Amino acid sequence: MNGAAATTRRQEVLDRLAESGEAAFALDGSGRVVLWNKACEMLLNRPAEAALGRKCWDTVCGRDVYGNVYCYRSCPVAHQARQSREPVRRFTLVVPDNGTPHSLSVATFVLPAGRSSLDTIVHVLREDPTNPSPLEVDLEAAAARRRRPRRPLRTPQGDPVELTAREREILRRLAEGLSTRAVAERLLISPITVRNHVASILTKLDVHTKLAAVAFAFRNGLV
């Protein structure tokens, strides 16, 4: 799906979310809430004006069933949703409601943009975690359209490339312009580990600089 088509499709889905009777909210690439529908207002007892434009972790303030903080800056759910090819499984989130814990079932979907860092993440909240609703089925179909490399990865010399999931992840972060230390902080690993992965990437791609590796990533639809 090209960038224009992805943007159109994403907006169509967000329009449906806004009108949906199911509680849902959406986040941009920085984790800010860009949609908070009426059903979400009612379920979480938070008006849209108090949520829109705020970071999701400051808005939802969710915890796991054991009371541990779940919603925070380095959210593992958002990380997995943006970077993994596997869908994020439904999970239980406990949110405060006038001081009383409220347990909800959360389904997570990613609406693709031109780059993974710009993807929109959608959470659908339900009190009844039974079979997927029509809205969730539609979101799953939209998320399934996430871009894939248009052809098998090959070096500039035409040799096949086998990058690990972590190497692809680091290559995408480099394409965002992040430094080695920033990549390490984003992925919660050490700078030495990042440097080792970068060295492996350069060897596999048969290139000598990170700039050349980033150019490869753009050519092959990895970012």
In sequence order, the β-bridge partners of residue 110 are 121
Look at 83-87, 157-161, 175-179, 194-198 and tell me which has the smallest mean pLDDT.
Answer: 83-87
User: Computed over its alpha carbons, how large is the radius of gyration of the chain?
Assistant: 19
- Residues 116/6, Cβ–Cβ less than 8 Å: no
pLDDT at 110: 83
- pLDDT 10s digits, 102-152: 899 898 888 877 666 678 888 999 887 777 777 787 777 766 655 444 456
Question: Which SS3 state, helix, strand or coil, does residue 1 take?
Answer: coil
pLDDT at 140: 76
> pLDDT over 90 for what percent of the chain?
26
- pLDDT 10s digits, 85-108: 455 668 889 998 777 888 998 988
Task: Spell out the domains of the chain, with CATH numbers in brackets.
Answer: 3-143 (3.30.450.20), 165-219 (1.10.10.10)
Confidence grade of residue 3 (pLDDT, cut at 50, 70, 90): low
**CA distance linking residue 59 with residue 53, whole number of Å:** 10
